[in-house]
Amino acid sequence: MKPFEFGGEGGEPGEFLGAIGVVVSPSNEIFVAEEFNRRVQVFSMEGTYLRHFVTVVSADELDTMEPDSIAIDADCHLWVVGNNKLSGYVVQYTKIGHRMRTLYPSFPNNTFNGVAVSLHRNHVIVAENWKDYSEVKVLLFNGTVVRKFGKLKFNRYTPTRVATDSDGNILAADSLRGIVNVYNETGQHRFSFGDPGMHWIGSIGGVCVDSSGQFILSYGDDARVELYTDRGVHVRQLVNVNATNLTSTDGVAVGPDGQLVVTSLSEDMVLVLPHY
């Protein structure tokens, strides 16, 4: 099976307005967080539209957010972070879109960008944005703060992306510097990696960890995806602008059978690589 793309700009099922966050379930369903249509769409690994749900934040079905990032926990519940004009939100949904709980930021005007779930600790990890900096927060599923660390300079053009590996290490993208900081589970900085010489400032679109513990980093408007070892040593390029129709690579996720799934905000498309 060759790499393929699906989607396109629009508001109908199978179309996108702001295809940004992505995650793949153990059963090979692709969940795409769609910012401007305020929904999550679900597809098969072949790109077939299955269903969607609106990203509500309360019992009021009109109370919604623009989703930004998405993760999945051990029970296949989805964790979606997003924002509206009032605040940022961390919302847990079932895989068919029933809202289970909503968590709120430390201060009402704060927003959220990245989200990841530590499967072995049952922690949800988020990037919370204050006025001029972003910090990593580790939460219990009920919203209790376990710890916070890793302050980074922030503006709305440089969202912080987060991921975690099976050892509990936490990755946080410093988009202003073009690198990813790696912390242990207690928040101590271990090392940094990435490409500070990239063409576009603030261009880290997404970060994830595969089943081998390797790091995968997408470089947004540089339209490329790079593979690194678990020590941050560059291995090879997985996607580049010359090999696809995409001019940006944003959200990035891996599937249970070694697939790579990448979203593109510029084209409102999803790219699937059956193997990488």
pLDDT digits (tens, 9 = 90+) for 143-184: 999 999 998 887 666 789 999 999 999 999 987 788 899 999
> What pTM value is reported for the model?
0.96
Q: What is residue 24's predicted lDDT score, i.e. its pLDDT?
A: 99
Structure tokens at 201: 């400032």
DSSP state of 223: -
pLDDT exceeds cutoff 70 at 1? yes
Model confidence at 222, pLDDT cuts 50, 70, 90, reads: confident
Domain 4-201 in CATH: superfamily?
TolB, C-terminal domain (2.120.10.30)
| DSSP conformation letters of 4-43 | EEEE-BSSSTT-BSSEEEEEE-TT--EEEEETTTTEEEEE
| Sheet architecture: strand order including 170-174 | 162-164, 170-174, 179-183, 189-194
Q: What is the DSSP letter of 122?
A: T
Model pLDDT, residue 175: 79
DSSP 247: S
Any idea where the domains of the chain sit in the sequence? 4-201
